[in-house]
Amino acid sequence: MSRARLVPAAVAVALIATGCGTPETPAGSNSDAGITIFNTEPENPLVPGNTTEVGGSRVLDALFTGLVEYRNEDAQPVNAMAESIETKDSKLFTVKIKKGWKFHDGSPVSAKSFVDAWNWTAYGPNGTQGASFFSQIEGFADVNPKDPDGPDGPEKAPAPKAEKLSGLKVVDETTFTITLSEPFAVFPVTIGYEVFAPLPEAFFKDQKAFEANPIGNGPFKFVSRTVGTDIKLTRNDDYQGDDKPKFKDLTLKVYQSRESAYADLVANNLDFMEELPPNALAGQKYETDLGDRVVQRETLNLQTIAFPLYAKPYDNAALRRAISMAINREEITQRIFEGTRKPAESWVHPLMKGYQAGQCGVYCKYDPQKAKEELAKSGYTGEILLLSNTDGGHQEWAEAVANSIKNALGVDAKFVPSTSFGEFRQKVNAHEMNGMYRAGWIADYPSIENWLTPLYRTGASSNDGLYSNPKFDAKLAEADKAPSEEQAIRLYLEAEKMLAEDMPAIPLWSQTTIAGKSNRLKVANLHPFRKLDLDSVEVA
C-alpha cells in the first residue's frame, strides 16, 4: 500500500526540485489504443484520503497527481505538481505549486485545493483511513481527538475543537505552508502518497456526486465504474504533467481470481497483470506460456500474516511467536513460488536503506521444537484459523502455511477463504476478523519509517490489528525528530527490534515480482511499488 531510502530534508528538497520527463509518443506507438489491466475491486469510493489499499490505489494513481511522484528507476521523489518545497528546520515547509494545472472538470488546481483536501482527510468525524498520515501537522489533535477506548470501545471520541489543521496556511493561489508539531526530516518524501492528493471544489459541494464520478487532476479521467466488473478511464488530453500517457483508454478489469486473469493474459485478452499467480510460477510455467512477454523486477512489498489482537486467542503473544516459528518459509518459497520469494527475517523491506537482517531473531526461523515450547507457554490448545481473500492468488501459499503450522504444532490449523478482496478488507477495517489473516505492505513512500509507523504505531491508519506498545511509539517519535539520517535509522531499528517479542504481525517473504504483458504492448515496465508504470506503456 505506497519505496527506497530515508532522505534528509535538505537532500529531499534538492531531489524534489528536479523534474521527471518522458518523451513524446514514440514513432510506431498507437496513441489512440486502449489497454486492459488486472485489478481487484476497490474497497471504498475513489476518494484519495480514504483509500489505502491496492485495488483503489491503482485507479487513483491514474486519476490524480500529487506534489511529488516516485521515479520508476529508483523510487526516489521528484517534483510533480510542486514547483518547490523548502524548509530550513524540517518543521516549517513552504510549498509552491506549478501554475496552469486544472482538474478534469476544468476548475483550477490551487494551493487551497491541497489544503482543503488535507483538512477534510484529517478531520476526525469524516472517519477516513488516511487521517493518521496528517498526524504530524500542527493542530491534528484538535481536529482528530483521540478516542479514549479505541475505535471498538463504547465511548465516542470527543468532539473536535477545530475543523481545520492550524499547521496549514494558504499564502496565495500557488503557495501554502505546512507547520509540523515536531521536526520530521522525512516529511517531504511522504507527500507523494495518494492521501496527499488535491481535491476540487466539486467534492466539497456534493461528495456523493463526486464518488459517483471522481474528478482528479491526473493523466486519466474517469469514465465509468461497474462494481465487480471494471473501472474505465480515458486519457486527459489537457494534462499538464510530463508523464503523459502514450495510449488513450485504460480499463481496470476486476477478477475474482488471479488464475482466471492469467488465462486471459496468456490468451492476450488481458494486457497487463502485475503479479502472476502461483500456478503460473510452478515449474516456471510462465516462461513457456508467455516467453518474451514476461516482465519482472524486485519490488518493495512484503507478505505478512496479521493478528486481530482484539480477539482471543490471538491476543496471546506466546501463541503468535509459536505460530511464526511453525512456518517453514524456506520450503514454501521454494515449493510454491519457485524461489521468486525470499524468506523474511525483519519487518522492514531488504531494499530499504537502513535495513538490518535478523530483527525478528529466532521467531522468524522454522523451529518446531521451540514453536511447541512457546505454544505450551501460551496455554492454548484450540484451532488456529488463517483467513485470506482468494482473488489475489493467495490460496496455495495460505494452505501451505496452515499445513506447516498444523504439522509443526500438532494443532488444528486451517485456511478459511474469502472470495472478494473488497469484502475481506471491509471486515479487516471493521475489526471483525475471527482468525489471523493475510496481510502485506507495499511502501507508500521511500523511507524505513513507512514500514513501521502506519502499521504498528498506536492508532495508525493501517494498524488493523490494533497493536499498541507505548515504548515502541515513543521510540518512533524519537526517531522522527532525529537531527540526522544516520541517527534516525538507528532509532527506527531500535523500534523495529521491539516488535520481535510482541509479534503483532509475522513477516513471511519479500519478492521478485513476475508480471506479464500481452503481445499488444511493445513496452510495459513494472514500478518498484509493484504496479504498472503507466507512462512507460507503448502499444503496438
pLDDT digits (tens, 9 = 90+) for 68-101: 999 888 888 899 999 999 999 889 999 999 999 9
Per the confidence metrics, is the pTM higher than 0.85? no
Instruction: Record the cell numbers describing residue 469, joined without a space.
Output: 506498545
pLDDT at 67 over 70: yes
3-class SS of residue 454: helix
| Alpha helices per DSSP H over 326-467 | 329-335, 368-378, 395-409, 421-429, 453-456
* Residues 16-21, mean pLDDT to the nearest whole number: 38
For domain 9-247, the question of CATH label 3.40.50.300 is answered with no
CA distance 59 to 531: 11
3-class SS of residue 238: coil
Closest by CA to 424, choosing from 59, 11, 40, is: 40
CA distance 122 to 500: 31
* Residues 242-250, mean pLDDT to the nearest whole number: 94
Domain boundaries in the chain?
A: 9-247, 300-511
Bridge partner list, 294: 516
Per the model's pLDDT, the better-predicted residue between 147 and 346 turns out to be 346
Show Cβ contacts of residue 227 under 8 Å, excluding neighbours closer than 6 positions: 41
Tell me the per-residue pLDDT of 102-138, one tens digit each, with 9 for 90 and over.
Answer: 999 999 999 999 999 999 999 999 999 999 899 999 9
Tell me the per-residue pLDDT of 106-115, one tens digit each, with 9 for 90 and over.
Answer: 999 999 999 9
Query: How many other C-beta atoms are found inside a 10 Å radius of the C-beta of residue 313?
Result: 16
Q: Compute the mean pLDDT over every residue in the chain, rounded to the nearest whole number.
A: 90
| H or E stretch covering 187 | helix 187-190
pLDDT at 9: 35
pLDDT at 322 over 90: yes
CA distance 225 to 41: 10
Tell me the per-residue pLDDT of 429-447, one tens digit each, with 9 for 90 and over.
Answer: 889 999 999 998 988 888 8
CA distance 535 to 22: 8
Instruction: Record the cell numbers describing residue 256, joined without a space.
Output: 475474482
Specify whether the CB–CB gap between 223 and 232 falls below 8 A: yes
Instruction: Record the cell numbers describing residue 328, joined without a space.
Output: 517453514
CATH topology of domain 300-511: Dipeptide-binding Protein; domain 3 (3.10.105)
262-284 in b/e form (b: 16+ CB < 10 A) is bbbbbeeebbbbbbbbbbbbeee
pLDDT at 28: 61
